[in-house]
Amino acid sequence: MTVGKWTDRISTSLSLSCIQVGDSATYYLAIKMVSALPLNIRQGSALVLRFGDNEVAQLSTGIEYSDNIGDYNTYSNVSYYTIYPSYQLSDYILEKITRFGIRKFRIETVLKNIDREMDNDKLRDLAIFLREEYRLIQNQIDNKANDIMEGF
């Protein structure tokens, strides 16, 4: 779900992702960032979250994310840069996100901090969206019927 405005020429979109190894599932908050300028987030850079209940949490990246090459759109004559930083979520943070949503977040980048704050409508919409993504992921994890080798 896209959040924030293009006024600072950086678009942000939030989603949940999951990596499952065996019976263990690890959840991540993934952020798609598109900018008119090169983007770089160093390993260990912070993401600060304020939930809908005003509690604050801080996460950090496990690796570095950068785009210094970008893409060029010949139709609009615009260059843009895209990165997809993700932040591992504890069970507690995952529960806070899916229950209360994210009211505000701050992403630490090399050039500057990127702040996004949601009004009450966007907060509600984001909470519903992330809760639904979590439900869809859980349904896929619980659905053991999708065996790639079955019928091959």
Contact 69, 39 (CB under 8 A): no
The whole-number pLDDT of residue 151 equals 78
Q: Provide the pLDDT confidence category of residue 7 given band limits of 50, 70 and 90.
A: low
- Residues 77, 59 contacting (CB under 8 angstroms): no
Cα–Cα distance measured from residue 1 to residue 12, given in angstroms and rounded to the nearest whole number: 8
pLDDT in tens, 30-86: 999 999 889 999 999 999 999 999 999 999 999 999 999 999 988 988 899 999 999
Q: Can you give the pLDDT at residue 115?
A: 92
Q: What is the pTM of this model?
A: 0.84
**Cβ atoms 122, 70 nearer than 8 A:** no
Q: Which of 49, 18, 12, 45 is nearest to 31 (CA)?
A: 12
**pLDDT at residue 3, rounded to an integer:** 66
